[in-house]
Amino acid sequence: MCLAIPGKILSIEKNDSLMHTGRVNFGGIVKEVNLSFVPNAEVDDYVIVHAGFAIGRVDEAEAQRVFEYLDDIESMMEEKNRQ
C-alpha cells in the first residue's frame, strides 16, 4: 500500500524548468520536496507528497482532516502498546 502525506509549502527553493523544489512542513518535520508535478503550487499551499514528490494540491481543511486521522492512528497504537 502506498501512502501520500499532506504538507505545507514553507518556501520554494529552486524554480527552473527541470528542478522545481521546495521546503515542505509535515507536522514539524521539514523536508525538501520535488514540486515539478504541481508547478502552480505556491508558498502556504498544502500538497500531497509521496516518495519525495508532491503529486497534487489539497485545501487546508482536507489536510487538517488527514492530520486528525494520523493523530487518531497514533493514539490507537500507543494505547495498544500500553496493553
Give me the domains of the chain, ranges plus CATH numbers: 5-82 (2.30.30.140)
Q: In which band, very low, low, confident or very high, does the pLDDT at 82 lie, cut at 50, 70 and 90?
A: confident
| For the chain, the helix, strand and coil percentages under 3-state DSSP, each to the nearest 5 | 30, 40, 30
pLDDT given at position 1: 59
Strand ranges for 1-83 from DSSP E: 5-15, 20-26, 29-34, 46-50, 53-58
Give the model confidence (pLDDT) of 1-53 as tens digits.
578 999 999 999 876 767 899 999 998 999 999 999 998 999 999 999 999 99
pTM of the model: 0.82
Task: Tell me what the mean pLDDT of segment 60-66 comes to.
Answer: 92
Rounded CA-CA distance 82/18 in Å is 48
